[in-house]
Chains A and B, each alone.
Chain A
Amino acid sequence: MLSRFIFSVVLLFGFGFFGFNISKIRKNILIGKPLNRSDQKAKRWKTTLLIALGQKKMFQRFLPAIFHLFIYVAFLFTSTELIEIIIDGLTGSHRFFWDKLGSVYILLINMIEILSVLAFVATLVFLARRNLLKVPKFQMSEMNGWPKLDGNIILYLEIVLLICVFTMNGADESLFLKGKSHVEGSGSFDFIISSFTAPYFFNQFEVSTLILLERVGWWGHILVVFAFLNYLPFSKHFHILMAFPNTYYSNLSEKGAFNNLNSVKEEVSKMLDPNFDPYASIDSNNNKLPDRFGAKDVEDLTWKNLMDAYTCTECGRCTSACPANITGKKLSPRKIIMDTRDRLEEIGRNRRKHGNDYTDNKSLLGDYISEEEIWACTSCNACVQECPVNIDPLSIIIDLRRYLVMEESKIPSELTGMLTNIENNGAPWQFSQVDRIKWAEE
């Protein structure tokens, strides 16, 4: 009875706190500017199925994709077992589906056990990649401190979780063999891994010890699951949830198509319209301040840019494909996204503490991202192409450039000349427009 009560409290608190943090993140994302991504629903679902559920872009790099797949599929299957754990926890039953599902149950647990072994191996490989092999993309400066610890915490939690699963099943198998399991009768569960491990690791224990081990495994499992769930909103690991909405709301246009700024279009159209009357009275219904050109801070980005930031799992594929980063420049697309999330979290905290109008006189551009970084970008779209969950660092970089150039007139001096030439003679170089066809006579 007590255990059922404790379980109910854990369940309520586990989901409650998670929901609370999710609503905070939702609010933060909605700080972003509007952007219509509600079109082409069929294509969006297809993208989600292929990219998020189907992991298509992960397989651009085969080996990490395979190990990632082990953990991912194990996660999907183990999640179904949670249903039973919750029923057992709330009602005091033991293996609720054991006699109801029969051989399907055995098949399902077998799948979970096999996948858990694969996930265990994959977790060790990932720990090795980060800590022993020191894969370069995990050693870059933006990974120092919390991001590095975050990555390892998740992997350690996974190890604990998997050990709990095997302790639970192994001890229960041993109990069942001795006829002492909470499941009626005696025999083997026929779970492929635990029927193998029970004789080696568990049969030598007393029944009371086994009962304790089984409970430790069971409680450990569910507690780690809830710890994990509530760790997600604070971690890069949030991608396991965000991958789905983020791919659904992907940019479906060609990657080369940069958005046109409507505010600029209106201004320029007026400039070019000979019938436009600059002295005409300003529409009094429309006296709000015009939007800032480009982005200085996260509030100037779209909600999709901000969703991108919460989706990033800091894998670094973008950065390892970035020509600027490869050749030693300061730019790292991963850092652009991580900075956006860090700054957004900061603004969210400020707003909750001091109200929505509070400013801390800091900004994404300047305090987090430097001009040197954004000017190193060649707009080649390699980062966008690489991202396994369709994050778009390039659109943030371009919006930061737009702010610098159009609001602050800060631009590398050579580019000033290029722009003047375009305005004066319709070419980035100083050649007269009337000479555009001279090549034909040469």
Chain B
Amino acid sequence: MNKLKVPTVAEMLANNERPDILFWVGCAGSFDDRAKKITKAIVKILNYCNIKFAVLGPEESCTGDPAKRAGNEFAFMMQAIQNIELLKGYNIQKIVTGCPHCFNTLKNEYPDLGADFEVVHHTQLINQLIREGRLLLKGGGSFEGKKITFHDPCYLGRANQVYEAPREVLKKLDSELSEMKRSKANGLCCGAGGAQMFKEAEKGNKEINIERTQDAIEVNPDYIATGCPFCNTMMTDGVKHFEKEEKIKVLDIAELIANAADL
């Protein structure tokens, strides 16, 4: 495997260069062992397509999404104002995120506070790269003929109405894309949003990720595709709950594509 090229914005500037696009990795992508693999898959795709990108590295911080959704506007605002200062200082024009929560916050909640940059989710960028012919897939590799179902992350789907980009990408794998009974605008949450990821659920009769995993298992897929590291965790746990981890793999779209393109 080629070593990943992951320049930081600061390093680029030291060489008198600027990134065309900033890759906003996010907390899960930086620290969570499972999500790090998604981060690397995204970087492999960016490297392969010769995208002039950079990360913030140690300068990256939380967007404030979980703080805002937990009701702490102060903590959110501290993060937002400082992040915007940093991004403006680096004159960042375009950002790709590896997480729908970062995507949503940067895209929808920062402009009001003075931010002015384009934000795309990694599934949108991958879709664009494929459309432009910069990312060539020779079939779906090991995914050909397999059954894949896509779980819509709430903050990508309902929150931002991005339903088609991930599906268009998945169709390139020459596999069978099978929809769950609740999908797109009617998709069911994995249970992690609204800061629930960081707390125990309230008392009920079931965990939300179990309910959602049942939706997925009903279509009898080989792969559950996601576009969110938190959905990934929740669905992976759900699959384990039903002891189906041998049969059903939970993968991010970036991983599916990087793998199919043999990167």
CB within 8 Å of B: which residues of A?
60, 253-258, 260-261, 264-265, 267-269, 271-272, 293-294, 321, 323-324, 326-331, 372, 375-382, 384-385, 398, 401-406, 411-412, 414-415, 417-419, 422-423, 426-429, 431, 433-440, 442
B67 to chain A, nearest CB (A): 5
Identify which of B71-79, B131-139, B142-150, B249-257 touches chain A.
B71-79
> Cβ of B196 < 8 Å from any Cβ of A?
yes
The B23-69 residues at the A interface (CB cut-off 8 A) are 25, 27, 29-31, 36, 39-40, 43, 55-58, 60-62, 64, 66-69
A381 contact from B4, B8, B73, B158, Cβ within 8 A = B158
- Is the CB of B218 closer than 8 A to any CB of chain A? no
A403 to B204, CA, bound (A): 25
Chain B residues numbered 159-218 whose CB sits less than 8 Å from any CB in chain A: 159-161, 185-186, 188-189, 191-208, 210-212
The reply to whether B78 and A436 form a contact with Cβ atoms under 8 Å apart is no
CA distance A419 to B25 in the complex (A): 19
Q: Are A378 and B30 in contact (CB under 8 A)?
A: no
Q: Tell me the nearest residue of chain A to B37, going by C-beta.
A: A439
> Which of B87-95, B105-113, B236-244 makes up part of the contact surface?
B105-113
Tell me, in angstroms, the Cα distance from A431 to B33 when the chains sit together: 13
In the complex, are the beta carbons of B202 and A428 less than 8 A apart?
no
Query: In the complex, what's the smallest C-beta–C-beta distance from B140 to chain A, in angstroms?
Result: 27
A373's nearest neighbour on chain B, judged by CB, is B202
Using A256-B108, A260-B109, A380-B194 as known contacts, say yes or no to A412 and B199 having CB atoms under 8 A apart: yes
Cβ of A440 to closest chain B Cβ, rounded Å: 4
Q: If A328-B204, A331-B202 touch, does A382 touch B158 (CB 8 Å cutoff)?
A: yes
Main secondary structure of the interface of A (DSSP, over half): helix
Taking A265-B77, A382-B189, A385-B158 as contacts, is the C-beta distance between A419 and B70 under 8 angstroms? yes
* In contact, A436 and B58 (Cβ under 8 angstroms): yes
Q: Nearest CB to that of A256 among chain B residues? A: B159
Cβ–Cβ contact A414 & B198, under 8 A: yes
Inter-chain contacts of A326 with B (CB < 8 A): 188, 208, 211
Kindly identify which residue among A260, A406, A437 contacts B58, using a CB–CB cutoff of 8 Å: A437
Neighbouring B residues of A268 by C-beta, 8 Å: 74, 77-78, 81
Q: Which of B4, B36, B74, B199 contacts A414 (CB 8 A)?
A: B199
Q: Once the chains bind, are B71 and A329 in contact (CB under 8 Å)?
A: no
Bound form: Cα–Cα A378–B69 in Å: 9
Does B123 make an interface contact (CB < 8 A)?
Answer: no
Nearest residue in B to A372 (C-beta to C-beta)?
B202
**Complex alpha-carbon distance, A328 and B208, angstroms:** 9
CB atoms of B70 and A401 under 8 A apart: yes
The residue of chain A having its C-beta at the shortest distance from the C-beta of B198 within the complex is: A418
Nearest-CB distance from A381 to chain B (Å)?
A: 4
Contacting pair A411 B71 (CB below 8 A):
yes
For A382, the chain B residues whose CB sits under 8 A away are 154, 158, 186, 188-189
Q: What are 29 A-B contacts defined by CB distance under 8 Å? A: A257-B104, A257-B108, A258-B109, A268-B78, A294-B73, A323-B212, A324-B204, A327-B204, A327-B207, A329-B203, A379-B69, A380-B193, A381-B159, A382-B186, A382-B188, A385-B186, A402-B72, A403-B71, A418-B195, A418-B199, A419-B70, A422-B75, A427-B30, A428-B62, A431-B30, A435-B58, A437-B8, A439-B25, A440-B43
Pair A437/B31 contact, Cβ less than 8 Å: no
CA distance A380 to B182 in the complex (A): 14
Residues of B within 8 A of A403 (CB): 71
Asked if B203 and A439 make an inter-chain contact with CB atoms under 8 angstroms apart, the answer reads no
- Tell whether, in the assembled complex, residue A257 and residue B204 are in contact, meaning their CB atoms are under 8 Å apart: no
Q: Which residues of A contact B60 (CB under 8 A)?
A: 426, 433, 436
- B61 near A402 with CB under 8 A, answer no
User: Nearest residue in B to A331 (C-beta to C-beta)?
Assistant: B202
How far, in angstroms, from A398 to B67 measured CA to CA in the complex? 11
Of the candidates B27, B29, B57, B70, the one whose C-beta lies within 8 Å of that of A411 is: B70
Top 7 A-B pairs ranked by shortest CB distance?
A256-B159, A379-B194, A401-B71, A426-B61, A328-B205, A257-B108, A328-B204
A267 touches B74 (CB 8 A): yes
B155 contacts chain A at the CB level, 8 A cutoff: yes
Considering the complex, give the chain B residue whose CB is closest to the CB of A269. Answer: B81
| Chain B residues with CB under 8 A of A384 | 158
B260 contacts A by Cβ under 8 Å: no
Collect the chain A residues with CB atoms within 8 Å of residue B197's CB.
Answer: 428
From B4, B70, B155, B205, A440 is in contact (CB under 8 Å) with: B4
CB pair B160 A254 closer than 8 Å: yes
Q: Roughly how many angstroms separate A433 CA and B203 CA in the complex, as a whole number?
A: 34
Q: Is the CB of A378 within 8 A of B196?
A: yes
Distance, CA A25 to CA B158, complexed state (A):
32
A254 proximity list for chain B (CB < 8 A):
104, 107-108, 159-161
Cβ–Cβ < 8 Å partners of A442 in chain B: 36
Q: Are A418 and B70 in contact (CB under 8 A)?
A: yes
Q: A254-B160, A260-B112, A380-B158 are in contact. Are A431 and B8 (CB under 8 A)?
A: no
Question: What is the distance, in angstroms, from B257's C-beta to the closest C-beta of chain A?
Answer: 19
**Docked pose: A258 CA to B39 CA in angstroms:** 27
Residues of B within 8 A of A417 (CB): 198
Given contacts A260-B109, A414-B199, A427-B27, contact A406 B40 (CB under 8 A): no
B residues near A267, Cβ cutoff 8 Å: 74, 77
Bound CA span A312–B191, Å: 26
- Docked-complex contact B58 and A434, CB < 8 angstroms: yes
A293-B73, A380-B194 known, 19 other contacts, Cβ within 8 Å: A254-B104, A327-B201, A328-B204, A329-B201, A329-B202, A330-B202, A380-B193, A381-B154, A402-B71, A405-B72, A406-B71, A418-B66, A419-B67, A419-B75, A422-B75, A423-B78, A429-B31, A431-B30, A438-B30
A426's nearest neighbour on chain B, judged by CB, is B61
Docked Cα-Cα span, A258 to B112, in Å, equals 11
The listed residue (A323, A372, A427) touching B208 by CB distance below 8 A is: A323
